Structure 1
């Protein structure tokens, strides 16, 4: 399933290809690092963001709604905080801002840009939908609901379709 919201918008990751494993050992809101390989059989949202980014802050309500909407289906959101500017490289500040922004889902701190580079990203925020086999199936670059684009509903519809797949 290829949707219009995915292939053109998300750099070099290819639809239906396995995504890179998440790197890093500094995490928030989880007792241990989350490995995408351990999520096989489950749909996962991966949300790249940074706390000083205006668009990332605007995107949070939509990401939180998607997270809450699919919690009962064992879909989780994994945040990846990738710093853009110097103050965002301080893990203590990331911890404080994650709490202040009300982010309760697991967040990986990508201070060395390992995930940013392996996922071939070039902007914040970016949201990926990973299917039950660990493949990239859809995503959204930028604010989900910017200027009436209604990306939140498009991502929701993709997740619903993926949940129905065997």
Structure 2
């Protein structure tokens, strides 16, 4: 069953890095053009909020057998600027726990480990960016959650 707003972070993803901090998980694939196009926007969010506690985790979800090679995925990740923790979801266990069936997909958890926002597709990074702004108090008052 897909995660819904307010759901807890799946237990398999609870680590020292993800505990007590705002955490953005983004699910992507090396064969996804939108994932590559959106990566610079994710880098800007990561750079802007890292010193305020935002943790980012990239989850590679292969869309075919040609995407199972970790060295190939790492090479592409380096090319497109993925510098955060990179998880390989070759068995689709993590993406399955999130309910992901398409990429890119974004999941933003608050410091209590509750899902605050999720978004998919080309505009997903913009939607997640606005949610991050609200969490960190950078959005106009009328849009704060």
TM-score over 0.5 (shorter chain)? yes
- Corresponding residue to 1:132 among 107, 111, 117: 111
CA shift, 1:68, in A, is 1.0
Identify the residue that residue 141 of structure 2 maps to in structure 1. none
Identify the residue that residue 155 of structure 1 maps to in structure 2. 128
CA distances 1:6-35 after superposition (whole Å, capped 9, x unpaired): xxxxx821111102134xxxxxxxxxxxx4
Once residues 21 and 163 of structure 1 are traced to their aligned partners in structure 2, the CA distance between those partners, rounded to angstroms, is 25
2:44 equivalent to 1:65: yes
- Corresponding residue to 2:14 among 22, 36, 40: 36
- Corresponding residue to 2:8 among 12, 18, 26: 18
Once residues 36 and 160 of structure 1 are traced to their aligned partners in structure 2, the CA distance between those partners, rounded to angstroms, is 23
Cα pair 1:46 1:80 within 8 Å, conserved: yes
2:102 equivalent to 1:123: yes
Q: Secondary structure at the match of 1:12?
A: coil
Cα pair 2:40 2:81 within 8 Å, conserved: no
Once residues 65 and 34 of structure 2 are traced to their aligned partners in structure 1, the CA distance between those partners, rounded to angstroms, is 18
Once residues 50 and 19 of structure 1 are traced to their aligned partners in structure 2, the CA distance between those partners, rounded to angstroms, is 21
Distance change >3 Å, CA 36–CA 163, structure 1 → 2: farther
Q: Which runs of 4+ in 1 moved over 3 A?
A: none
CA shift, 1:61, in A, is 1.4
Cα pair 1:40 1:132 within 8 Å, conserved: yes
The structure that is helix-richer by fraction is 2
Identify the residue that residue 8 of structure 1 maps to in structure 2. none
CA distances 1:53-92 after superposition (whole Å, capped 9, x unpaired): 1111111111111111111112011000010012111111
Q: Which runs of 5+ in 2 are unaligned?
A: 138-143
